[in-house]
Amino acid sequence: MSEKLVILGAQWGDEGKGKIVDLLSERFDVSVRYQGGSNAGHTVVINGVKYIMHLLPTGILHPHNTGVIAQGMVVDLKALEEEIADIEAKGNPIFDRLLISDRAHVVMPYHKLLDKLLERKNGVGTTLRGIGPAYMFKFMRKGIRVVDLFDQRVFERRLEENVEFVKSVVEKVFGERFEIDLRYIEEEVLRPFERLKSRVADTAKFLRENTKSVIFEGAQGTLLDVDMGTYPFVTSSNSSALGLAHGTGLSPKYFKDAKIYGVAKAYLTRVGGGPFPTELKGEEAERLRQKGGEYGATTGRPRRVGWLDLVALKHAVDVNALDGLILTKLDVLDGYPEIKVCVAYEYRGKIYEEFPSSLEVLENCKPVYETLPGWSGSTKGITDPEQLPANARRYLEFIENFVGVPIVMLSTGPQRHEYLFLKEVF
Ligand code: GDP
Ligand code: IMO
Ligand code: MG
């Protein structure tokens, strides 16, 4: 079997990608993460045991699966080492089934420092995992790649250049003192590398030559994509399908037969700053946050919550050319007498039916809502489409009609078995 499947976020991240990829990756031999880094937190609950995947592709949890950290990622080696140890401590040996791209960039301790300093001015609300600065160094052509760690002279030269640059920025721009602590570099980078280096490979070549089935797992979501999202309140990578080719090192031709599904919550959340037209405030927000357990898997921050935004979701469908949607957390809407969905924005008397690129419009527009009837029965844990309450079915149909692609699968709880298929997925 040669099969390719892409699962990515259709909103502002945390859509439940981890849970879905865990389910769908069972039949795949290889799973790939291709952008972002430890800013991601993908939750999987298997037999009551919770795993939070940050750098590793979720599919690696299946004992037959090879997990690939591809070249488009920025890798915090210490965090990776800890993540592996954590999973292995739960009785799942994964080390020998992991491949790390030699071209991936390394997140250095001073990237995290810069993330913190920049955050004071920018207020993006980043995860402080050094993601933005690591990509900044990559595109400034100052980055340290995994391959550079094999050659001490190359590494030391790059490090010296980096330190000189960071020192001048920290001292001149931020007015703080900066001295590099080499013990820290040893602890955070070099020692973890010693333990991980046997898993480093040319992963693009591996994927090109691999004729088996591969599942690609996006991190973050389309609205956080550096080009197609709510810039500048975005992450620093292409977290939509646009990131696939350069993130993996594979030609776009490689993906021509791939199915691409977007994961979306039945409502909407966002962590950090930035526009959120359908955001709820006060008690209404607190109720939804509590019901949905909306606290960040990486940082523990309370997530901002709101109604489903179909204008934004349609944008994700279009940007990614989605074959369908996978809707999660429908159960969280159980018991709401009415459910609102945003079908357009209004800004200065003008109606926007398409997702605007302007931050000004996104920040100051008012959502135009359609109100749909809720359902009284429970959808929690249902696995049979026949058990869907009629109004829940109507809700799904309304979404499908608006965005123009089918909802192929539903998630009805955090546990592995809580899902149902509505259409053929593979
Ligand atoms: P990801 O980053 O897209 O993988 O999503 P996160 O793991 O950050 O956040 C999703 C949260 O929702 C996690 O706590 C999941 O366990 C939980 N979850 C996933 N699917 C469902 C669902 O269908 N219903 C409920 N109630 N929780 C879900
Ligand atoms: P997963 O893969 C939700 C958000 C941050 C911040 C912005 C930039 O679990 O869905 P960064 O640290 O990337 O520079 O932060 O992006 N963000 C996420 N929000 N889910 C994520 O990942 C996120 N990764 C980053 O909150 O607003
Ligand atoms: Mg998450």
The alpha carbon dihedral of 248, 315, 135, 99 has a sign of negative
Ligand 2 lined by 126 (C-beta under 6 Å):
yes
Q: Give the ligand 1 atom nearest the CA of 412.
A: 23
Which amino acid type is present at position 342? C
CA of 237 to the centre of ligand 2 (A): 10
Of 131, 319, 353, the closest CA to residue 234 belongs to: 131
User: Which ranges in 140-278 belong to alpha helices (H)?
Assistant: 152-168, 182-185, 191-196, 203-209, 244-248
Phi-psi region of 36 (alpha: psi -120 to 50; beta: other; left: phi over 0): left
Confidence (pLDDT) at 260:
98
CA atoms of 262 and 17, how far apart (whole Å)? 9
Is the Cβ atom of 41 under 6 angstroms away from ligand 2?
yes
Could you tell me if the CB of 420 is within 6 A of ligand 1? no
Task: For residue 42, report the distance from its CA to the centre of ligand 3, in Å.
Answer: 5
Q: Name the catalytic one among 22, 42, 62, 115.
A: 42
Q: At what angle do helices 131-139 and 109-122 cross, to 10 degrees?
A: 110
Q: Which two tokens stand for residue 79?
A: 């965090």
Q: Pick the closest to residue 144 from 104, 185, 191, 204 (CA basis).
A: 104
Is 54 part of the annotated catalytic residue set?
no
Question: 201 - beta bridge partners?
Answer: 101
Instruction: Calculate the CA dihedral of residues 301, 342, 392, 315 and round it to 10 degrees.
Output: -80
Alpha-carbon distance of 73 to 105, in angstroms, equals 7
> CB within 8 A of 302, min separation 6: which ones?
289, 294, 295, 296
pLDDT given at position 211 = 72
Q: With contact defined as beta carbons under 8 Å apart, do 218 and 164 qualify?
A: no
Ligand nearest to the CA of 58: 1
Determine the Cα angle at 81 with ends 129 and 130, to 5°: 10
C-beta 298 within 6 A of ligand 1? no
46 CA distance to ligand 3 centroid (A)?
A: 17
Specify the pLDDT at position 2. Answer: 55
Is 42 catalytic? The answer is yes
Q: Domains in the chain, ordered, with CATH?
A: 4-101+200-260 (3.40.440.10), 105-195 (1.10.300.10), 264-421 (3.90.170.10)
Cα-to-chain-centroid distance, residue 112: 19
Per-residue confidence in pLDDT tens, the chain, 426 aa: 459 999 999 999 999 999 999 999 999 999 999 999 999 999 999 999 999 999 999 999 999 999 999 999 999 999 999 999 999 999 999 999 999 999 999 999 999 999 999 999 899 999 999 999 999 999 999 999 999 999 999 999 999 999 999 999 999 999 999 999 999 999 999 999 999 999 999 999 999 998 789 999 999 999 999 999 999 999 999 999 999 999 999 999 999 999 999 999 999 999 999 999 999 999 999 999 999 999 988 888 999 999 999 999 999 999 999 999 999 999 999 999 999 999 999 999 999 999 999 999 999 999 999 999 999 999 999 999 999 999 999 999 999 999 999 999 999 999 999 999 999 999
The candidate with the shortest Cα–Cα distance to 36, out of 60, 20, 22, 17, is 17
Per-residue confidence (pLDDT) for residue 378, from 0 to 100? 96
**Pocket probe mutation, ligand 2, options 127, 129, 137, 231, max atoms within 8 Å of Cβ:** 127
The single-letter code of the amino acid at 66 is: T
Which pLDDT score is estimated for 297?
Answer: 82
Instruction: Kindly give the pairing relationship between strand 74-75 and strand 214-217.
Output: unpaired
Cα of 299 to ligand 3 centre, how many Å?
10
- Nearest-CA residue for ligand 2 atom 15 is 126
Are the beta carbons of 2 and 29 closer than 8 angstroms?
A: no
| Other Cβ atoms closer than 10 A to 372 | 17
Determine contact, residues 379/412, Cβ cutoff 8 Å. yes
Q: Which atom of ligand 2 is nearest to the CA of 126?
A: 15
Q: In this predicted structure, what is the pLDDT of residue 6?
A: 98
